[in-house]
Structure formats: structure tokens, C-alpha cells
Amino acid sequence: MMTYIYLLYEFFKIGLFSIGGGMATIPFLMELPDKYDWYTTGELANMIAISESTPGPIGVNMATFAGYHAAGIPGALTATLALVTPSIIIIIIIAKFLENFSEQPAVKALFYGIRPTVAALIGFAVLELVKITLFTTTESGYVPDYSRILMCLTVFVLLQWKMFAKLHPLFWLAAGAIVGIFLKL
């Protein structure tokens, strides 16, 4: 029972403070392995990959995955509902009042300040994801995994060309999975 209460609390808090979309939830999700045994930091990288490659918002997918990992289907439902509830409440309030205040200088200033903050949260999440994905953790710290770095750079360079950039993301996921199996990453 306590697991559900903790899931409700943590994911409600994540939903309330992760402004800017699903990627903004990652810094919050990175704190949870230190508090609970729901998943490890390494499993977080897998969770992000699965959430990115499945339909739906990444934050909701990650909450569902984490909740399921922590307490099965009831945990998945608890975490997902807890994550989306603050957004629903906030959107209802904003829709009610923003129409009247959208041109107010204070409201414009608020959104002016939120944008760079969201960019910083997403940037932090990207850096943490790079550490998890492209480096191996050892007792002495992070050691570069050159095969993963080469694979990442290769895909990045290929995506700079129009003919490759037009390929569906599922192509890149399938290609990465095949190379990963081949290299036993």
C-alpha cells in the first residue's frame, strides 16, 4: 500500500513541476533510484528508449513504465494518473483565466522566464542521457564506450543529409537494434 502512496506522491510532484513536456521529467526520474528500488539508473536509459519508441507522450510512457516496474499494473495506473492530474488541473485553471490576462505584461514575463528554464531542464536531461548511453560506469568514474559513441556519431552525421533525414524514426531504431545485437552492446 505504501508503494502506491509513494508512486502517487512522486509522480504527482513530477507532473506538477516538469514544465515543458516529457523530456523535462527525466531529471526528476533520475532522482528516484536514490530514494526507491523501483528501477536503477541503467534501467532508466532503457525506460527512456522504450518510451521514445512507443506511441504516446514520453512522460506518460515513462510514468507508466516506472509504475509498472514498481508495482505492476496498479502501479502503472497510479503513476500515470498521478503524473497527468496536475496538468489537467492547471490547464483547466489556465483556460479559465488566461483568456482575460494573456496580454498582461506579468503573464508575458512569466512565459518569457519559463522558456529558458525548460530549455535548461531538457539540456540537463540530454547530458545525463549522454552519460548513461555513451559511457560505462566504473569504480573510477565514467569511461567512454567507443563503439556506442561511433554509432551515435554515425547516425548523427547521416541525419544531416536530406535522404537519410527523411527516413522514418522506426528505421533508425531497427538499425540501432540490429547493430546493437551484432556488436553485443
State whether 124 and 56 are in the same domain. Answer: yes
Q: With both helix axes pointing from N to C terminus, report the angle between 26-35 and 105-134 in degrees, rounded to the nearest 10.
A: 60
Mean pLDDT of 97-121: 83
Check residue 154 and give its pLDDT.
93
Q: Are 66 and 47 in contact (CB under 8 A)?
A: yes
Q: What is the pLDDT of residues 30-89, one digit of tens each?
A: 888 889 988 888 888 888 888 777 777 888 888 898 899 899 999 999 999 999 999 899
Q: Are 147 and 136 in contact (CB under 8 A)?
A: no
State whether 97 and 74 are in the same domain. Answer: yes
Q: Are 9 and 108 in contact (CB under 8 A)?
A: no
**How many residues are listed for the chain in this entry?**
185
Which residues touch 144 (CB under 8 Å, ≥6 apart)? Answer: 134, 135, 136
Confidence bin at 185 (pLDDT 50/70/90): low
In a domain, 81, yes or no: yes
State whether 55 and 96 are in the same domain. Answer: yes
Confidence bin at 7 (pLDDT 50/70/90): very high
State whether 22 and 74 are in the same domain. Answer: yes
What DSSP string describes 134-145? Answer: HEEEETTEEEE-
In a domain, 138, yes or no: no
- Residue ranges making up the domain that contains 179: 145-185
Q: What is the pLDDT of residues 115-141, one digit of tens each?
A: 899 899 889 988 988 888 899 888 888
Backbone angles phi, psi at 102, to 5 degrees: -60, -25
Check residue 9 and give its pLDDT.
95
Q: Are 114 and 108 in contact (CB under 8 A)?
A: no
- Quote the mean pLDDT of the chain: 87
Helix (H, G, I), strand (E, B) or coil at 23: helix
